[in-house]
Amino acid sequence: GFIFQVASFQGVAVRSLSTSSPHDHPEHGRLVYKGNLAKTVLGVKFFSYSTSIFNLFMMPYIMLKSGIGVESLLVQGAFYGLIGIFTFVTPVTLHLLTKGYVIRLYYKDEVDTYTAITYNAILAEKATVFHQKDVKIPDISKMFTTFYAKTKSMLVNPTLFPNPQDYNHLMGYDKSSVFKFEDLEAVKEAD
């Protein structure tokens, strides 16, 4: 009886998984993009944070055991500086580089708005809602920015959009091609 219950429970779990994905958020619209490095970004940030916390707890113990506290101020300063860099600078830098990494992007056709899901400083998911007209493309290509949503930098991988048309609309490329086509028609008529 017990084995049968487990098997039927697994069947229910599998069925419920197939009908709705954990990323279905009808309030945000349809899912148009999923970043493939989401787990990596989260893992690296988590590792960096946990290392920093470990360093903070270990510092007094290391000072006590190594006797660095007794040594010259210069050695003490260098030691604190080095630990400080690894404890604070690394996580802050990592956060600044990855804060715009889009984990998922949703689109609501009827209102032409996007919801970008990113990780905030405390590794929780954060939703940023913006309109297509808020999208600005940087003049020169930036390493960690594909576009700006209002003033926030966002990073997406164009090849991960299942429908390329969704990427073109996000970036406003579909609009510019319409204008170009109309301009071409106007030129033909002028000739």
**Which sign does the torsion angle of CA 39, 41, 42, 48 carry?**
positive
Q: What is the CA radius of gyration of the chain?
A: 25
Q: Please, what is the Cα angle at 142 between 180 and 28, to 5 degrees? A: 75
Q: Tens of pLDDT along 2-32?
A: 444 444 444 444 433 444 455 667 788 999 9
User: Considering the entire predicted model, what is its pTM?
Assistant: 0.68
8 Å CB contact between 144 and 99 = no
Q: Tens of pLDDT along 180-189?
A: 444 545 545 5
How many Cα atoms within 13 Å fall on the side-chain side of residue 47?
7
In 20-159, where does DSSP find H-type helix? 38-66, 73-84, 90-98
Q: Is the confidence at residue 172, as pLDDT, over 80?
A: yes
Q: What is the DSSP letter of 101?
A: B
Percent of the chain with pLDDT over 70: 75
For residue 100, which of 149, 139, 141 has the smallest C-alpha distance? 149
- C-alpha span between 60 and 58 (Å, rounded): 6
